[in-house]
C-alpha cells in the first residue's frame, strides 16, 4: 500500500517535472517565434525607412540648398540646415527671366493637353471597352503600338509638320502633339470594361443617350482612374523639357523647365542655390496637386471593383 503510494507519488512528481519541461519548451518556442516576428518587423520598418530616405533625401537636399548662400552649397560635408535661410534665392530665380510668362505657358500647355486628352480618351476608351465593331482589335493594337514609339523618333516629322502649319512657338504647337494618349485610353478602357453590362442596359431603359451614359455613369465610376491619369499626364507635361526645347525658338511659348535650365547658364557658374530655388518653384504645383489626389491614386490601383 505504502509502496504503491510512493510509486504513485513518484509518478506524479515525474509528471509535474515533465509538464514543467513541456511548458518551458513551449515558452521557448513562443519566445523564439515572437523574437523572430519582432526582428522581421524591425527589418521591414528599416527597409521602408531606407526607401523613404532614398526618395525624400533629394527633395530635402533641394530645399536645403535653395535656402543657402552659394559658398554654403560647396561645404563638405554638407550642412543640412542652413544657419540663416536665404529667401532671396527665390526672387533671384524668379527674376532671371520672364518667369511669370513661363509659369503661365506651363499652365496653359499642361492644362490644355489635359483637357484635349480627356475629350479624346474618354470616348475612345468607351468605344474600345463597350462596342463591338469591325477592326476594333486592329485599331486598339495600333493605339497600343504608339506607346512603344519613343519621342526622339518622331520629333522631326512633327517639327516639320508644325512648322508647315506655322505652329512653332505657339501654345497650340506644344499642345496638339499630345492631344490624345494611348496610355490613357488603355487605362480607362480597363476601368470601363469592369462596369457590369446591366448598368448600361438599365440606363438605356431609362432613355439615357450614349453620351449621357458616358458622362453620368462611366466617368463617375472611373473617377480614381481618371484622377490618376490626370496626375500622370500633368506631371509628365509640366516637367517636359524635350518637346518645348525642340518646338520653341523664342520666349513666347517657352515653359518653366526651359526657364529653370536657363538659370544654370547665367554667369557661367552653376549657382546651385538659385537653381534649386527655381526647381522648387517648378515642383511646388505638382506637390500640391499630388497632396490632394493621393487618396484617389491609391484607390485606382488597390480598389478596382465596381459593385
Partner 1 sequence: MAKIELLGIEKTFKDETVIRNLNLTIRDGSFTVLVGPSGCGKSTTLRMIAGLEKQTAGEIRIGGTCVNDVPPGKRNVAMVFQNYALYPTMTVRGNIEFGLKNRGMPGKERQSLVHDISEIVGLAPYLDKKPQQLSGGQRQRVALARAMVKQPQVFILDEPLSNLDAKLRNQMRTELIQLHKRLGTTFVYVTHDQVEAMSMGDEIVVMDKGVIQQADIPSKLYHDPANLFTAQFIGTPAMNIIDIRDAYGLELENGEGVSYVGFRPEQALIGKSIEGFRLEGEIVTRESLGAENVYQIRSRCCTFFAKTYLEPLLTEASATVVVPYEQLYFFGPNGERRRGVRALAKRLATAGGV
Residues that bind partner 1 in the complex, under the rule CB under 8 A:
196, 198-199, 201-209, 212, 216-217, 220-221, 223, 306-307
Q: Which is nearer to partner 1, 116 or 217 (CB)?
A: 217
Q: Which is nearer to partner 1, 199 or 283 (CB)?
A: 199
Q: Which is nearer to partner 1, 67 or 222 (CB)?
A: 222
Q: Which is nearer to partner 1, 129 or 256 (CB)?
A: 129
Q: Which has the closest alpha carbon to 60: 286, 300, 276?
A: 276
Q: Which is nearer to partner 1, 226 or 256 (CB)?
A: 226
Q: Which is nearer to partner 1, 39 or 215 (CB)?
A: 215
> Residue 208, SS3?
coil
Q: How near is the Cβ of 190 to partner 1 at its closest, in Å?
A: 18
Cα(22)–Cα(33) distance, integer angstroms: 16
Helices (H), 67-98: 70-74, 88-95
Q: Which has the closest alpha carbon to 184: 216, 231, 130, 244?
A: 231
Cα(290)–Cα(7) distance, integer angstroms: 78
Q: How near is the Cβ of 90 to partner 1 at its closest, in Å?
A: 42
Q: How near is the Cβ of 138 to partner 1 at its closest, in Å?
A: 21
Q: How near is the Cβ of 70 to partner 1 at its closest, in Å?
A: 54
Q: Which is nearer to partner 1, 19 or 212 (CB)?
A: 212
* In the block, residue with C-alpha cell 450614349: 210
Cα separations in angstroms, 110 against 99, 162, 235, 286: 16, 18, 8, 11
Q: Which is nearer to partner 1, 29 or 216 (CB)?
A: 216
Q: How near is the Cβ of 293 to partner 1 at its closest, in Å?
A: 18
Q: Which has the closest alpha carbon to 290: 255, 242, 238?
A: 238
Residue pair 244/94 in contact by the 8 Å Cβ criterion: no
Q: How near is the Cβ of 196 to partner 1 at its closest, in Å?
A: 7
Residue pair 271/70 in contact by the 8 Å Cβ criterion: yes
Q: How near is the Cβ of 303 to partner 1 at its closest, in Å?
A: 12
* In the block, residue with C-alpha cell 485599331: 139
Q: What is the 3-state secondary structure (H, E, C) of 201-270?
A: HHHHHCCCCHHHHHHHHHHHHCHHHHHHHHHHHHHHHHHCCHHHHHHCCCHHHCCHHHHHHHHHHHHHCC
Distance of alpha carbon 234 from the chain centroid: 10
Give every CB contact of residue 216 below 8 A, 6+ residues apart in sequence.
Answer: 203, 208
Q: How near is the Cβ of 13 to partner 1 at its closest, in Å?
A: 58
How many beta carbons lie within 10 A of that of residue 255, not counting itself?
29
Amino acid at each position: 500500500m505504502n509502496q504503491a503510494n510512493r510509486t504513485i507519488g513518484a509518478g506524479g512528481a515525474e509528471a509535474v517535472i515533465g509538464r514543467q519541461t513541456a511548458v518551458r519548451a513551449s515558452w521557448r518556442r513562443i519566445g523564439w517565434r515572437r523574437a523572430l516576428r519582432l526582428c522581421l518587423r524591425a527589418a521591414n520598418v528599416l527597409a521602408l525607412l531606407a526607401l523613404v530616405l532614398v526618395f525624400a533625401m533629394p527633395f530635402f537636399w533641394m530645399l536645403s540648398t535653395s535656402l543657402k548662400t552659394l559658398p554654403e552649397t560647396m561645404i563638405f560635408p554638407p550642412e543640412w540646415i542652413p544657419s540663416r535661410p536665404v529667401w532671396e534665392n527665390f526672387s533671384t530665380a524668379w527674376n532671371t527671366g520672364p518667369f511669370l510668362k513661363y509659369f503661365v505657358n506651363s499652365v496653359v500647355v499642361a492644362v490644355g493637353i489635359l483637357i484635349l486628352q480627356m475629350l479624346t480618351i474618354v470616348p475612345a476608351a468607351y468605344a474600345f471597352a463597350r462596342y463591338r465593331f469591325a477592326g476594333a482589335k486592329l485599331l486598339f493594337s495600333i493605339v497600343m503600338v504608339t506607346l512603344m514609339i519613343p519621342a526622339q523618333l518622331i520629333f522631326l516629322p512633327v517639327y516639320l509638320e508644325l512648322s508647315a502649319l506655322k505652329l512653332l512657338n505657339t501654345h497650340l504647337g506644344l499642345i496638339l502633339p499630345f492631344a490624345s494618349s494611348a496610355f490613357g485610353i488603355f487605362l480607362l478602357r480597363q476601368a470601363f470594361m469592369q462596369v457590369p453590362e446591366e448598368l448600361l442596359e438599365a440606363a438605356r431603359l431609362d432613355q439615357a443617350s450614349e453620351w449621357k451614359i458616358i458622362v453620368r455613369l462611366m466617368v463617375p465610376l472611373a473617377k480614381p482612374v481618371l484622377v490618376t491619369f490626370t496626375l500622370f499626364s500633368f506631371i509628365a507635361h509640366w516637367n517636359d523639357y524635350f518637346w518645348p526645347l525642340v518646338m520653341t525658338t523664342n520666349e513666347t511659348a517657352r515653359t518653366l523647365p526651359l526657364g529653370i535650365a536657363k538659370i544654370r547658364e547665367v554667369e557661367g557658374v552653376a549657382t546651385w542655390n538659385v537653381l534649386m530655388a527655381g526647381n522648387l518653384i517648378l515642383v511646388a504645383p505638382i506637390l500640391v496637386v499630388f497632396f490632394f489626389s493621393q487618396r484617389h491614386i491609391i484607390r485606382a490601383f488597390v480598389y478596382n471593383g465596381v459593385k
